[in-house]
């Protein structure tokens, strides 16, 4: 389904968001105070505008309140980032994603009604650290403080050449296997007779401690 997005602040983060949304054929309005940044997206976004996002009248005249999603990706100018988030909230945008520079900033954004607060540098740093410590963990998503979804590469022959039923990840680790990737082939919600082979990538969900225990078996 086609939706419309407005991205305010076209640094590296905002620009990447615009590019992916445009590749996915979504309507994208790209706004920045800097003309050069705006011009670089002229042939990519649906509409580009040079404007100060803090200017409420301009945002109103662009009909921001009617957009499905607004992404506030102004970075270093925290004050502008907060004010723009507040304005788009007041204009009635139903889904706001705002980029935070630090934890205090993130708290303020949540308080004023940002629906999603992202911390690109911190989040990426965490991912890279997890990967450095656990090269077998290819993807990691903490669902809350205790539960994690992870994609883990099975390199211990103890688990290979066997079916899910025989290995019984649930009984051994308390983990549910939600997908098995073998080469390019992905089996979603695999049955008990699905075979696990060397270097398969298993998507599992369960207690974070259980994911860590399974990962420890790969070393």
From residue 144, how far is each of 40, 87, 126, 177 by CA, in Å? 38, 30, 15, 18
> Does 172 interact with ligand ADP (rule: CB under 6 A)?
no
DSSP one-letter code for 66: G
Q: Which two tokens stand for residue 94?
A: 């139903």
The values of phi and psi at residue 34, to 5°, are -100, 120
**Shortest Å distance, C-beta 197 to ligand ADP:** 41
> Does 17 interact with ligand ADP (rule: CB under 6 A)?
no
Alpha carbon distance 189, 98 (integer Å): 34
Nearer to ligand ADP, 41 or 202 (CB): 41
User: Out of 6, 28, 30, 33, which residue is the one contacting ligand ADP (CB under 6 A)?
Assistant: 33
Name the nearest CA neighbour of 201 among 168, 177, 175.
177
**Shortest Å distance, C-beta 37 to ligand ADP:** 4
**Shortest Å distance, C-beta 50 to ligand ADP:** 9
User: Out of 32, 72, 89, 203, which residue is the one contacting ligand ADP (CB under 6 A)?
Assistant: 32
Alpha carbon distance 86, 197 (integer Å): 51
> Does 117 interact with ligand ADP (rule: CB under 6 A)?
no
* Cβ-contact 47, 30 below 8 angstroms: yes
> Does 38 interact with ligand ADP (rule: CB under 6 A)?
no
Instruction: Tell whether the torsion through CA atoms of 207, 208, 213 and 218 is positive or negative.
Output: positive
* Cβ-contact 199, 185 below 8 angstroms: no
Residues 70-89 that bind ligand ADP (CB under 6 A): 73-77, 80
**Shortest Å distance, C-beta 31 to ligand ADP:** 6
> Does 37 interact with ligand ADP (rule: CB under 6 A)?
yes
Residues 44-63 that bind ligand ADP (CB under 6 A): 52-54
Q: Which residues bind ligand ADP (CB under 6 A)?
A: 8-14, 31-34, 37, 52-54, 73-77, 80
């Amino acid at each position: 389904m086609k939706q419309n997005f407005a991205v305010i602040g076209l640094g590296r983060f905002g620009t990447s968001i615009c590019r992916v949304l445009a590749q996915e054929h979504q309507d994208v309005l790209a706004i920045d105070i800097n003309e050069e940044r705006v011009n670089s997206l002229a042939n990519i976004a649906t509409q580009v505008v040079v404007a100060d996002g803090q200017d409420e009248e301009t945002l109103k005249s662009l009909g921001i309140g009617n957009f499905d999603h607004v992404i506030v990706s102004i970075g270093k100018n925290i004050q502008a980032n907060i004010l723009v988030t507040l304005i788009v909230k007041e204009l009635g945008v139903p889904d706001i994603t705002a980029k935070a520079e630090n934890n205090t900033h993130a708290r303020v954004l949540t308080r004023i009604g940002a629906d999603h607060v992202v911390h690109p540098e911190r989040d990426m740093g965490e991912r890279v650290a997890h990967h450095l410590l656990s090269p077998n963990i290819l993807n990691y998503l903490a669902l809350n403080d205790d539960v994690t979804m992870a994609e883990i590469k099975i390199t211990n022959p103890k688990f290979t050449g066997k079916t899910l039923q025989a290995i019984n990840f649930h009984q051994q680790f308390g983990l549910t296997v939600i997908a098995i990737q073998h080469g390019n082939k992905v089996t979603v919600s695999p049955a008990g007779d699905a075979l696990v082979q060397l270097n398969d990538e298993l998507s599992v969900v369960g207690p974070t401690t259980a994911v860590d225990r399974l990962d420890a078996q790969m070393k």
